[in-house]
Amino acid sequence: MTTREGKETLARWLADGSFAERLPEVVALCGVPQPPDYHGEGDAYVHTMLAVEAVADDADPRVFWGTLLHDIGKAQTTDFVDGHWHAYGHEAAGARLVPAIMTRLGLSELADDVTWLVRHHDFLLSWQLQPGIKLSARQRRFTEHPLFPFLLQVSAADAAGARGRSRRGEDGRMLGEMVRSRSDLG
């Protein structure tokens, strides 16, 4: 299934009312709050659907499914702590759900790759990138993973679906340029 076909299928499921039955993990994001400073668009479901819209029609289908499922762990992990909404561990919680979802949808051949994308979709939050900074050896190895180009696309869609003060979009673009040029590998 191509990304374009995935988007068309998603629209059909929404129109015919079968979306909730097919993807209850995504529907569970309805009403799941997020920090308004970073997610002014609303709950985790609205954010997810905006992110999916941002995926290019010609993107690899793993990018589409990784984006659609990237935050499904928030339904289990979101909590109000010290006056702020947090979803600690949502990446791992979501990754655990992906194989069963992909199998249920008849896309088990994509399960491992989509699981990896969901597990790592927030990697940029810990990298503290700044112009001119070289990547660490660990970061360079991570960028060499065969799915890394898809992860950058999932991260870009995630950033496009957020209305707030996150630097994720800028950081992703900067990292993509660094990796493409390999100027940081010295």
In this model, does residue 48 exceed pLDDT 70?
A: yes
Query: So where are the chain's domains?
Result: 3-181
Identify whether the C-beta of residue 78 lies closer than 8 Å to the C-beta of residue 32: yes
Which residues fall within 8 angstroms of residue 110, CB to CB, at 6 or more apart?
61, 62, 65, 102
In this model, does residue 39 exceed pLDDT 80? no
> Which pLDDT does position 174 carry in this prediction?
52
Q: Which residues contact 108 (CB under 8 A, 6 or more apart)?
A: 99, 102
pTM for this one? 0.85
Quickly state the pLDDT bin for 186 (edges 50, 70, 90): very low
Give the bridge partners for 79, in sequence order: 86
Right CATH number for 3-181 from 1.10.3210, 2.130.10, 1.10.260, 3.40.50? 1.10.3210
Per-residue pLDDT tens for 126-183?
A: 666 666 777 778 888 888 999 999 999 998 899 888 866 555 545 555 556 655 655 4
